[in-house]
Amino acid sequence: MRKVPLFWPALSLLVCLPLKLPGAEIFPFDYRIEQLENGLKIISIPLDNPHIISYYTIIRSGSRNEVDPGKSGFAHFFEHIIFKGTKAVPRDAYDAYLTRLGAGTNGYTTDDYTCYYTVFAGRENLEEVVRTEADRFIHLYYDEEMLKTEAPVIEGEYYASLSNPGRRIYELLRDTAFEKHPYKHSTLGYLRDIKDMPNQFAYSRLFKSRFYAPDNTILMVVGDFDHADLMDLVRRHYGGWERSGYTLSTPVEPPQVLAKRAHYEWPTDTLPRLAIGFHGPAYSDTMTDKAALDLLAEIFFSRRAPLYQKLVIEEQKCASFYAAFADHRDPFLLIFTAVVKDNDDMGYVEEQIFDEIERTKNELVLESVLALVKSNIKYAFAEALGTTDGVAGSLALFVSLAEDPGTINRLFDLYERVTPEIMQETAKKYFQRTNSTVATLARGEFR
């Protein structure tokens, strides 16, 4: 197969400013992993950065865990309820504690995990943070009335998301592409399930007992602290947390054998949208498939790539275009999304995207282009590790997937192993028309 150079406008912009990597590995920091008898895993990353500590609690529970029919949305529900406090530290006392420490806290829910983090100053405050966070998760308190009060808040959040065409087409794509796997629904869940949530107090307690347990939790602490001191505090305050012992059995998604299409009729004027998804691989730090697709997305579908330049800059058919190949614990979707300026151009844009996808299967990129992209990805990641919370925030996803910060170095080793030939063969493996789902959104019917 002949190699065809890809023309990238302003190719030199890919080259980052010189950045000295601290050590040969992309993740250069020493870390330790310990596990309590109850299954709680602790990842400790002491840094020389003075004063600041990032304290992350990662519950390996997201929409992936919502396998029971009619019970979607509970992972997101617990992201809400965890901030309501406990009997020992009610909400007002918790807010006062954060104010006293000058700490920041928040949480978010994903398909695979829910993350809670607190960032504060001073190792002298570590004991209070460990004690308070342990109480928050071990003794989380809510009653049936609190569930009935919070469920309408979540329902309102769902309705707010419906006003976003981008969110709506994303939900449509997932619901159409997946048949059995709970990735079929987003982290908000189905509206019918949210409406029924006030009647599901008993089930909410079951969900909590299964997943808000030490054997489904990772503590990741990054910053200015002593590892031995941290472990003494963790054993003291988390040691009595009872393990769940629950084993999640996630339905396996069958191979897609026929191309699918779906359309959503938007009720008001809006720019039409197009989303194309292919079933792709799960995250791996041992197999090259996902790493090869990450590099492919950057070369063929980034803002610097020829297709973007054509559709968005030159022809101005699209207001935006991007590819999102997100990492997941189970096989997910390789997604292409375009916001098109005119309904009449929807077919043309779809054709252009599929043509470029075919090009990934038929043309080899130059080794020099691939090497440049590898360098750019590496230095961009290294630059994100410049602060304490930059380290913690960058690691949260990967720790949730592999339970080991070392997965970063293994992943970047995989990037180095990817060749143009591997990238092309991976494209042929996943970018089959029969493996595709096309979702469209526009006012009225779309032809």
In the chain the first and final C-alpha atoms are separated, in Å, by: 37
Handedness of CA 20, 23, 27, 29 (dihedral sign): negative
* DSSP classification of residue 104: E
Burial of 251 by CB count in 10 Å (0-12 exposed, 13-18 middle, 19+ buried)? middle
More confident residue, 34 or 4: 34
Quick one: average pLDDT of 203-219? 97
Per-residue pLDDT band at 445 (split at 50, 70, 90): low
pLDDT score at 5 = 44
Task: State yes or no: pLDDT of 317 exceeds 80.
Answer: yes
Domains 11-21+255-443 and 32-238 share a fold: yes
How confident is the prediction for the chain on average, in pLDDT? 92
pLDDT score at 302 = 95
Token reading at 153:
């808040």
Superfamily of the domain at 11-21+255-443: Metalloenzyme, LuxS/M16 peptidase-like (3.30.830.10)
Handedness of CA 277, 282, 287, 291 (dihedral sign): positive
**Model confidence over 99-121: pLDDT tens digits?**
999 999 999 999 999 999 999 99
Token reading at 336:
């292409």
**Model confidence over 51-89: pLDDT tens digits?**
999 999 999 999 999 999 999 999 999 999 999 889 899
What is d(CA 80, CA 158) in angstroms, rounded to the nearest whole number? 14
- What's the CATH fold of domain 32-238? Cytochrome Bc1 Complex; Chain A, domain 1 (3.30.830)
Share of the chain above pLDDT 70, in %: 94
Q: Domain boundaries in the chain? A: 11-21+255-443, 32-238
Quick one: average pLDDT of 182-186? 97
Q: Is 70 left (phi over 0), alpha (psi -120 to 50) or beta?
A: left
Asked whether the beta carbons of 104 and 118 are under 8 A apart, the reply is yes
Residue 394, φ and ψ in degrees, nearest 5: -70, -30
